[in-house]
Amino acid sequence: MTIAALLLAPTAFAETVDCDSVSVGSYSMLTYKIPATFPNPSKTEYKSLEIEPASFKGCGYEVTSDTRVISIKADSRQGLFKLLGMDKMKEPFFAIPFVGFSGYKYPSLKMDFYSYNVWFTYAPGSGQIDTFDYDAETRAVNQTLKSASAGYKVDGGPLTPFYYEGVITKAKLPTTTKTIDFYAMRGTYSNGYDRILIDLSNNSVTLWKKYDFPKS
């Protein structure tokens, strides 16, 4: 177990954390463990980055959020994939739900939670841009949310369509790609992000809840 002291703001006090436990699940939930120190027991902290401001720096990671913009950074690409829980994959990749909706079938009882999303995936090792469409249900979701649109820019280039009228356009990018700037026009759908910047040269991912869709 690797432990390190870090500074957590806005509370701004130093604590010792188990570095192996630090993760950012689904790009929006920061989790880490604080080991037991007599007389206090160990505890696990959870911070919803879309709901509460957070600032975490330590263990080779830097994660910040003001609830509108989430920034996730690591000292290395492998560290970034570890933070995102993708380091054990044969080919690590980014997988981000950029548009969707969720709720409860029985809201008053908060029972039968559902969540439907369209995903943007990118594997830097092969350059493959893709989505999750491995079964009839995910393909149906992709077609259902067709009022949304999305595209991306590679290394500052022109805007390329990715999702339009329910159709995903897959692509293979050069493995020398440095940045992918992804934009979504989500309309009335609450889940997802308007902009996602994957910066491989900086080992970082930045996500904006609200951002104007570019004209070109």
pLDDT value at residue 4: 54
pLDDT value at residue 3: 53
**CB neighbours of residue 17 within 10 Å:** 21
Those residues whose C-beta lies under 8 Å from the C-beta of residue 187, and which sit 6 or more positions away, are 147, 148
> Does residue 38 sit in helix, strand or coil?
coil
pLDDT value at residue 30: 96
Those residues whose C-beta lies under 8 Å from the C-beta of residue 102, and which sit 6 or more positions away, are 113, 114, 115, 116, 190, 191
Work out the mean pLDDT of the chain and round it to a whole number: 91
Confirm whether pTM is higher than 0.95: no
pLDDT in tens, 40-99: 999 999 999 999 999 999 999 999 999 999 999 999 999 999 999 999 999 999 999 999
pLDDT in tens, 163-210: 999 999 999 999 999 999 999 999 999 999 999 999 999 999 999 999
Mean pLDDT (whole number) for 111-139: 92
Tokens of 77: 């690409």
pLDDT value at residue 1: 55
Q: Does position 23 have pLDDT exceeding 90, yes or no?
A: yes
